[in-house]
């Protein structure tokens, strides 16, 4: 991929056969959601909570469609029980695109703690992740696909502020 944009990234996900998109918005992901909402070949289903989005992705996977969940790291708290008592034990994968609010303690107060512990939470739960960048995009998409297809586990791509455009 030449340069990483919301448009090019969504296009790559579609090429990789991800066909079902849902989530709860974050400003850091607003460009991605805008792209999903504006393309004819994909649909984005607004979820009310992150755990409900995990349920929705689970149903899609069971029905043979590869799902993607977009959420802020604050949603990890809400969805952790769904991951541990559903996806990880039933071997039901999905691609998780999670924004990193609270990075380096520089953010609004409500994001600071989760921004500090989210990676540890993923690791403790046994969920692999990569910090997505323009440089490693192809490599991590390949790794994510491998984990999803072979180990049937959710794989998380972490998105930092500034990686994708924001639509306000």
Nearest CA among 54, 58, 16 for reference residue 145: 16
Report the nearest approach of other proteins to the CB of residue 84 (Å): 8
Strands (E), 12-161: 18-23, 44-46, 66-72, 95-99, 129-131, 155-159
User: Should residue 91 be labelled a site residue for other proteins when binding is judged by CB under 8 A?
Assistant: yes
**How many whole angstroms separate alpha carbon 2 and alpha carbon 20?**
25
Report the residue from 62, 106, 113, 134 that binds other proteins according to the rule CB under 8 A. 62
Report the residue from 1, 17, 37, 65 that binds other proteins according to the rule CB under 8 A. 65
Q: Which two tokens stand for residue 154?
A: 């959710």
Q: For other proteins, give the closer residue by CB, 82 or 132.
A: 82
Report the nearest approach of other proteins to the CB of residue 14 (Å): 16
Q: For other proteins, give the closer residue by CB, 51 or 132.
A: 51
What part of residues 132-161 is at the interface with other proteins (CB under 8 A)? none
User: Should residue 127 be labelled a site residue for other proteins when binding is judged by CB under 8 A?
Assistant: no
Report the residue from 9, 18, 20, 155 that binds other proteins according to the rule CB under 8 A. 20
Report the residue from 92, 122, 140, 163 that binds other proteins according to the rule CB under 8 A. 92
Helix 6-15 to helix 137-146 angle (10° resolution) is 30
Report the residue from 13, 53, 69, 144 that binds other proteins according to the rule CB under 8 A. 53
User: Should residue 67 be labelled a site residue for other proteins when binding is judged by CB under 8 A?
Assistant: yes
- Tokens 């998109």 label which residue? 21
- DSSP-derived 3-state class of residue 101: coil
Report the residue from 13, 29, 36, 56 that binds other proteins according to the rule CB under 8 A. 56
DSSP one-letter string for 52-84 = HHHHHHHHHHHTT-EEEEEEETHHHHHHHHHII
Q: CA torsion angle for 41, 162, 105, 25 (degrees, to 10)?
A: -20
**Which residues make up the interface to other proteins (CB under 8 A)?**
20, 45-49, 51-65, 67, 81-82, 84-86, 89-92
């Amino acid at each position: 991929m030449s340069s990483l944009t919301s448009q090019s990234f969504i296009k790559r996900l579609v090429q990789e056969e991800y066909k079902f998109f849902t989530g709860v918005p974050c400003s850091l992901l607003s460009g991605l959601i805008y792209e999903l909402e504006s393309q004819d070949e994909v649909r984005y289903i607004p979820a009310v909570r992150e755990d409900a989005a995990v349920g929705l992705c689970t149903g899609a996977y069971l029905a043979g469609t590869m799902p993607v969940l977009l959420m802020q790291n604050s949603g990890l708290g809400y969805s952790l029980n769904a991951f541990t008592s559903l996806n990880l034990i039933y071997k039901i994968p999905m691609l998780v695109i999670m924004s990193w609010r609270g990075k380096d303690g520089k953010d609004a107060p409500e994001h600071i703690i989760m921004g500090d512990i989210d990676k540890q939470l993923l690791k403790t739960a046994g969920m692999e992740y990569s910090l997505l960048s323009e440089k490693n995009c192809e490599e991590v998409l390949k790794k994510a696909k491998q984990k999803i297809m072979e180990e049937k586990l959710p794989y998380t791509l972490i998105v930092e502020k500034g990686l994708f455009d924001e639509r306000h």
